[in-house]
Amino acid sequence: MKKILTLLFFVALAATSYGHALWIETTTNGKKGVAQKVKVFFGEYGSKEIDSAAKWYSNLKDFKIVLTAPNGTKQELKTKASVFHYEANFTPTQDGQYTISIVHHVKDLYENAKIDYYALANVFVGKSTLKNQLAKEVALSIQPNKTSFISGQESSFLVKLNQSAFKNQKITIIGPSKKDEPTETDANGVLNFTPKQKGTYFFEAFYEEKKSGSQEGKNYDKIWHVVTYTNQTI
């Protein structure tokens, strides 16, 4: 019985961790000269299962946040741990699109899988023009087609895998009600979506790459790419 319980524990652990992701929460519309707060969480967004910062798995605490300003300059934001998230701040000095990104390669393996997490968010200040400011290291990405999001109006998001369209793939959307709204990208990797209410929307895409390699002396036969993108609808 003890062996069975131990096996069930590890199966549950693997299943739970598979559903976990990193995500960023911040205000989508910012103002010059006003400090912008950024929060980073790890857990399962839809079920509100948020891991305490002190118990983040493997080397997740070593993640780095990169802020790309409208003029293309990049800087790493300093973070500090809170109880259930990490916090960072920056103060916009320009009009335009600020891109916040995290690329994190998990040190430990799950079920012979290497996990790469990507977390994305944009902050739009004043008159903004959409730009693709993501580095090539962001293998799987979600980016919007406009700078403002209004409930009842359709928005489009371009999903890319290694700079190519992520065609006909399932995407998970979770709105303010915390209900999953699974949908798919089209043949051009575009996700069309109409938010029904105001609040924060969470987007997640997943891709399993069949690729073998070695990490920390252990062999893996696949890579799990997990990307999240959040924005606020008004």
Confidence of residue 187 (pLDDT cuts 50, 70, 90): very high
Buried b (16+ CB within 10 A) or exposed e, 56-85: bbbebeebebbbbbbeeeeeebebeeeeeb
The pLDDT assigned to 19 comes to 76
Q: Nearest to residue 146, comparing CAs of 198, 205, 97, 186?
A: 97
Confidence of residue 233 (pLDDT cuts 50, 70, 90): very high
Confidence of residue 8 (pLDDT cuts 50, 70, 90): very low
Torsion angle of C-alpha atoms 50, 234, 142, 214, degrees rounded to 10: -10
CATH fold for the domain made of 2-233: Immunoglobulin-like (2.60.40)
Query: What number is the average pLDDT over the span 152-178?
Result: 94
Task: Copy the structure tokens of residue 174.
Answer: 């979770």
Confidence of residue 45 (pLDDT cuts 50, 70, 90): very high
Q: How far, in Å, CA of 218 to CA of 44, rounded?
A: 27
Judge whether 75 and 66 are in contact, CB under 8 Å. Answer: yes
What is the percent of the chain where pLDDT is above 70?
Answer: 92
Q: Which residue has the higher pLDDT, 165 or 178?
A: 165
- pTM assigned to the model: 0.90
pLDDT at residue 190 greater than cutoff 80 = yes
pLDDT at residue 10 greater than cutoff 50 = no
pLDDT at residue 153 greater than cutoff 50 = yes
Query: What number is the average pLDDT over the span 176-180?
Result: 85
The pLDDT assigned to 204 comes to 96
pLDDT at residue 11 greater than cutoff 50 = no
The pLDDT assigned to 7 comes to 37
pLDDT at residue 47 greater than cutoff 70 = yes
pLDDT at residue 16 greater than cutoff 60 = no
pLDDT tens digits, residue range 68-120? 999 999 999 999 999 999 999 999 999 999 999 999 999 999 999 999 999 99
DSSP category for residue 60: G
* Cα of 113 vs its chain's centroid, Å: 19
The pLDDT assigned to 179 comes to 82
**One-letter amino acid for residue 181 of the chain:** E
Q: How far, in Å, CA of 68 to CA of 94, rounded?
A: 12
Start-to-end Cα distance in the chain: 53
The pLDDT assigned to 177 comes to 86
